[in-house]
Structure formats: C-alpha cells, structure tokens
Amino acid sequence: MRACYPGSFDPVTLGHLDIIERAAPLCSHLTVAVIHNPSKKTLFSLAEREEILRQQLAHLDNVSVAHFTGLLVDYVAQNDIRAVVRGLRDSSDAPIELQMARLNREMQPACETLFLAATGKYSHVSSSFVREIARLGGPIGQLVTPEVARRLQQKLESKEAL
Ligand code: PNS
C-alpha cells in the first residue's frame, strides 16, 4: 500500500522520525509530503525542509520526500496514495486530527487516515516548541537530531545577522 505522511516539518523532530520509521515497514512506499503554503511563514524554506528530510531519511529504502500545495486529498488522489499516516501524541491532538481525517474522507471517500500512537518519550515534542526553545537559546538535543539542531542554530544565526 502506498501511503503518505504529510506535515509542515519546520523542522522535522525526533517524534516525526519515529513515526516515519515505524510507518515505513507497513507500506510499500511512504511519501513524506511537505506542505507548501506560500501564505504561511516558516522558519525553513520549502527547499530546506525537503533537503533536511531527505538527509534524515536516506537510510529508509521505501521512503521518499515530496511537497504539495492545495488540498491533501488532491495530492493523494493524483499520486495513487491509499492512506494518510498521522501520529497522535495525546488526547489534545485527537479532535483536530479526527476532524481532518473525517473531512478528508468526506471530500475523497477513498482517502483513509491511519493513526500511529506517538512513542511516549516524544509525546511532548512539537516543531513549534523546538523553534521557540532554539530561538531562546535552550537545549533541543532531546527533541531533534544533532544535524537538525545544527541547521537550526545556523538558521537562527543567519537571521540575527540580518
Ligand atoms: O505538520 P502539521 O502542521 O500538523 O500538518 C498539517 C497538514 C499539512 C497535514 C494539514 O494542514 C493539511 O493537510 N493541509 C493541506 C490543506 C488541506 O488539505 N486542508 C484541509 C484539511 S481537512
């Protein structure tokens, strides 16, 4: 079964990587689909987010990285994808995730969403808090890989220099 794992990945966290590594063996192919929303400001550009993901996922044979604009269900239909994978961290993720899954299936009945329960040690990890902690000089070594931490530091230094 071809599946996709959509998200902003600004930047990819250990929680995302855990979901991808666990989902990949369940699919024939898993596309990590980075959302490109030109009206939403991100810390990393689309090209950077894709590049970082490719580097972090190079060890997974059946995983590729792509981007999409517009509706997820359109991307899914155009790419012959059977299921959308999402991670659930805790009960506060559930309402919005269920709403998206149901809306997506209403728009595209063939589009199923499969949820993986986040591993406990990552249930508090989010890209937005990673960005905030990094911006404020805090430790992010438990939240992202060393390479992502390095890219974050580099990005924040280049922003300060502006
Ligand atoms: O990493 P995120 O921000 O949790 O990912 C959210 C994402 C990209 C899965 C969601 O915003 C999405 O699917 N956006 C695409 C636009 C769309 O299809 N919107 C209708 C959702 S019901």
The rounded Å distance from CA 7 to ligand 1 centre is 7
Residue 10 belongs to some domain of the structure: yes
Q: Note down the domain range covering 104.
A: 2-123
Put simply, whether the predicted model's pTM sits higher than 0.95 gets the answer: yes
The pair phi, psi for residue 105, each rounded to 5°, is: -75, -30
The answer to whether residue 142 is domain-embedded is no
Give Cα separations from 130 to 39, 48, 63, 97, 103 (angstroms): 22, 16, 24, 21, 29
Q: What is the pLDDT of residue 160?
A: 74
Q: What is the pLDDT of residue 128?
A: 97
Residue 31 Cβ < 6 Å to ligand 1? no
Domain assignment of residue 148, yes or no: no
Q: Let me know if residue 133 belongs to a domain.
A: no
Q: Is 80 left (phi over 0), alpha (psi -120 to 50) or beta?
A: left
Whether residue 11 has a cis bond before it, omega within 30° of 0: yes
Q: Is the CB of 15 under 6 A from ligand 1?
A: no
H or E, element range at 113? strand 112-117
Q: How many domains does the chain have?
A: 1
Residue whose C-alpha is closest to residue 69's, from 35, 108, 92: 35
Q: Retrieve residue 162's tokens.
A: 């502006």
Residue 136 placed within a domain: no
- Is 65 a domain residue? yes
The CB of 8 under 6 Å from ligand 1? The reply is yes
Task: State the pLDDT at residue 161.
Answer: 63
Choose the residue to mutate in 12, 17, 20, 35 for probing ligand 1, maximizing ligand atoms within 8 Å of C-beta: 35
pLDDT score for 111: 96
**Is 85 within the bounds of a domain?**
yes
Beta bridge partners of 5: 32
- Residue whose pair of structure tokens reads 């299921």 in the numeric block: 83
Is the CB of 35 inside a 6 Å radius of any atom of ligand 1?
A: yes
β-strand partners of 159: none
Q: 54 and 63 in contact (C-beta within 8 Å)? A: no
Residue 75 in any domain: the answer is yes
What is the domain-level CATH number for residue 17?
3.40.50.620
List the pLDDT tens digit at each of the 162 positions of the chain.
Answer: 999 999 999 999 999 999 999 999 999 999 999 999 999 999 999 999 999 999 999 999 999 999 999 999 999 999 999 999 999 999 999 999 999 999 999 999 999 999 999 999 999 999 999 999 999 999 999 999 999 999 999 999 997 766
**Cα 25 to middle of ligand 1, angstroms:** 24
Q: How far apart are CA 4 and CA 34, in angstroms?
A: 10
